[in-house]
């Protein structure tokens, strides 16, 4: 067991969520899963981490509220130590998109000073280890299409619906 890595799992109205963090900040968060076991399999590196539910009490409460359709502050410290400089710039820019709003892949590329890099932005978002915390679901194609999402298009539509005021009960996963 390595010092400094911590994890927990908790249930939300949308499903089970897993969180992995270092002493530097959040490293990975799963999207809601149908079971705790599935969320467990989605978090890599747990053999080196310590279960620490108390460390994540506040984050768990905020994510539960988020999945109930409430706007919450998800401004936790992040540990992006495994990211390239390009990925980090994309992820930090996406983190600035306000709740309930969307931007295009091209807009993100322009914001990071690389206007021709819309596809590369999409690839960086595809490896986002902190969905919802880094709200990559808020990034759409130039024509307003959903585009891609590592959690699946159904999940992306679900998250966008939550932020438009649709409840979990109004949607299906």
Asked if 79 is an active-site residue, the reply is no
Catalytic residue among 74, 133, 136, 159: 136
What is the maximum alpha-carbon separation in the chain? 48
- Residue 64's alpha-carbon distances to 16, 22, 61, 90, 157, in angstroms, are 10, 22, 5, 26, 18
Calculate the CA dihedral of residues 12, 79, 86, 156 and round it to 10 degrees. 0
- Residue 111's alpha-carbon distances to 79, 102, 105, in angstroms, are 22, 14, 10
Q: What is the set of active-site residues?
A: 136
């Amino acid at each position: 067991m390595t010092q400094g890595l911590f994890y927990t799992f908790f249930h939300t109205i949308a499903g089970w969520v897993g969180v992995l963090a270092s002493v530097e900040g959040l490293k990975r968060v799963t999207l809601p899963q149908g079971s705790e076991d599935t969320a467990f399999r989605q978090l890599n590196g747990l053999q080196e981490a310590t279960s620490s539910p108390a460390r994540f009490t506040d984050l768990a409460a905020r994510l539960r509220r988020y999945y109930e359709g409430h706007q919450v502050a998800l401004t936790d410290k992040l540990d992006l130590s495994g990211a390239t400089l390009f990925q980090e710039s994309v992820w930090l820019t996406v983190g600035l998109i306000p709740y309930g709003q969307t931007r295009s892949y091209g807009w993100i590329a322009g914001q990071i000073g690389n206007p021709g890099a819309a596809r590369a932005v999409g690839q960086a978002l595809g490896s986002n280890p902190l969905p919802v915390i880094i709200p990559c679901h808020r990034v759409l194609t130039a024509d307003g299409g959903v585009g891609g999402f590592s959690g699946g298009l159904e999940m992306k539509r679900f998250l966008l619906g939550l932020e438009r005021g649709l409840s979990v009960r109004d949607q299906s996963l």
